[in-house]
Copies of this chain bind each other. A is one copy, B any other.
Amino acid sequence: MTTSESDAIFSALADPTRRAILSLIGEHEELPAGEIAAHFDSLGRTAVSSHLRILRLAGLVAERRDGRFRHYSVTPTPADAVVAFLTSVYQNSLEQLASAVQDASAAGDTPLDRTEERSA
């Protein structure tokens, strides 16, 4: 039970604000920290900065420095640990899972936090 990389990923994803940030960044190719922060009225800029740090340490986002800006982007294949875990637990219903993924991609659903509504 060593606090390994997958720990960082799962606990990073545990926070709804961080998931929202991740979704937001995912909607654009890149986004500077300031614009990300601007999307969260109820949150101070420093809080968002902390969240970005956690997402970065978990390997979920990448940071590109450009002058005084820091542009954040979603790391392409970071979900490895998540997928690995899901596959280990849900071996049985794996086909369903895989097809669920493909269905979702085929449907081309509105990208952002559909998560909340779907599982109502």
Contact = CB atoms under 8 A, between A and B. Distances in A.
Given A4-B120, A26-B88, A93 B115 contact: no
Chain A interface main SS type = helix
Interface in A68-106: 74, 76-77, 79-98, 100-102, 104-105
**Residue from A5, A10, A115 having most chain B Cβ neighbours under 10 A:** A115
13 contacts: A1-B17, A10-B10, A23-B85, A23-B88, A74-B92, A76-B96, A79-B97, A84-B118, A86-B101, A91-B111, A94-B102, A94-B105, A95-B105
Given A20-B1, A89-B26, A119 B6 contact: yes
Interface range for A: 35 or more
A87 B93 CA distance: 18
Nearest to A20: B1
B87 A104 contact: yes
A1 B23 contact: no
B6 A89 contact: no
Given A4-B119, A84-B119, 17 more contacts: A1-B16, A1-B17, A6-B116, A13-B13, A13-B85, A74-B89, A76-B93, A80-B119, A82-B86, A83-B86, A84-B104, A85-B113, A87-B104, A88-B114, A91-B105, A98-B98, A101-B101
